Amino acid sequence: MEGKFMKIVAINGSPRKNGNTAQVLEVVRREVEAAGVEFQVFQPGAKVHPCLACYHCLNTGSLRCVQTDDMVNDIIAACIEADGILLAAPVYHGGIAGGMKCVLDRLMLAAGCGVNQLHHKVGGALCTLRRSGGMETYQQLLGTMDAMEMLIVTSDYWGAVHGADPGEVQGDTEGMEVAAKLGRNMAWMVKVLAESRVPVPETHPRTMTNFIR
């Protein structure tokens, strides 16, 4: 493993700069970097476009989205190169914030639905919320990675940290400890895979079946 470059990329799906999601990710960063793994956060903000369902990325195998005036292509490229991917999003009305959903739709279509570039990467998920919707959002984030043949790593409790106004997550001691442990576990798994001499299982594009007759 000595000399091997290892990196975890995090996607912050909140439009707020220095908001609760960003503060939770800083807790993760400390643990990941302490383990000797690089940690990079992308925060596309509110100015991100939804997927057009044009399938250009899928049909051409370009691994890029045709929409080029936001951060999503940079995120796609970084996720393809990374050893691990952490999805972090605030909860909006009981589910993933809209901007984060736009990013995930385009990332998974461009990088995962053809020749899957995300398979066997280490994955983790966190969400921030005021009161309810944490489990639904957390499961949506996990389900996204589950469909990409990723190796999902967890903490010792569900990845939901509570707080409304920026900074309130600091008062959720248990939630912040969950985030820190997730960072340690993801860094550990990245290093385990880097040291492993076991060949990565083969993968292939799934057979797409539409439910029509």
Whole-number Å distance between alpha carbons of 86 and 38 = 13
Round the average pLDDT of the chain to a whole number and report it: 95
Residue 197 burial by CB count (10 A; 0-12/13-18/19+): exposed, middle or buried?
exposed
Distance in angstroms (rounded) separating the CA atoms of residues 159 and 103:
20
Residue 191's nearest CA partner among 93, 122, 142, 90 is: 122
Closest listed residue to residue 176, CA positions, set 128, 112, 115 = 128
| Calpha distance 110→200 (Å, rounded) | 22
Which structure tokens are listed for 131?
Answer: 């009161």
Across 75-82, average pLDDT: 98
pLDDT surpassing 50 at residue 94: yes
Distance CA 75, CA 66 (A): 14
| Prediction pTM value | 0.95
Q: How far apart are the first and last CA of the chain?
A: 51
Listed residue (82, 100, 103, 84) closest to 92, CA to CA: 100
Reported as a single tens digit per residue, the pLDDT across 174-213 is: 999 999 999 999 999 999 999 999 999 999 888 888 887 6
CA 170 to chain centre: 22
Q: Does the structure show a pLDDT above 70 at 1?
A: no
Instruction: Please state, as a whole number, how many other Cβ atoms lie within 10 Å of the Cβ of residue 76.
Output: 25
- 134-142 contact pairs (CB < 8 A, 24+): 134/91, 134/158, 134/160, 134/162, 135/160, 136/91, 136/94, 136/95, 137/89, 137/91, 137/94, 137/95, 137/96, 140/95, 140/96, 141/87, 141/89, 141/96
The residue assigned the tokens 């820190």 is 180
- Percentage of the chain lying above the pLDDT 70 cut: 98
